[in-house]
């Protein structure tokens, strides 16, 4: 059962990261944010999803 919970959490993290990156790219392609903002947000998304994964493993 614990393994199923870990798989579910991994899938949720992946989906969250995918949607955040998709929306970030959309904003950049539409000209709403600059390339600098796009890159910074990409870094923030990676930090956030990595931190979330570490917290769930503890």
Cα distance between residue 29 and residue 35, in whole Å = 9
Provide the whole-model pTM.
0.76
Cα distance between residue 21 and residue 27, in whole Å = 10
Q: What is the residue range of 23's domain?
A: 2-57
User: In the structure encoding, which two tokens stand for residue 31, read together?
Assistant: 């000209």
User: In the structure encoding, which two tokens stand for residue 11, read together?
Assistant: 């899938």
What is the per-residue pLDDT for 51? 75
- For the chain, the domain total comes to 1
> How confident is the prediction along the chain (58 residues), in pLDDT tens digits per residue?
477 777 888 888 899 999 999 999 999 999 999 999 999 999 999 999 887 666 655 5
């Amino acid at each position: 059962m614990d393994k199923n919970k870990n798989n579910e959490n991994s899938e949720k993290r992946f989906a969250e990261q995918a949607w955040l990156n998709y929306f970030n790219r959309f904003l950049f392609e539409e000209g709403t944010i600059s390339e600098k903002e796009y890159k910074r947000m990409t870094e923030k998304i990676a930090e956030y999803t990595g931190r979330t994964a570490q917290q769930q493993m503890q």
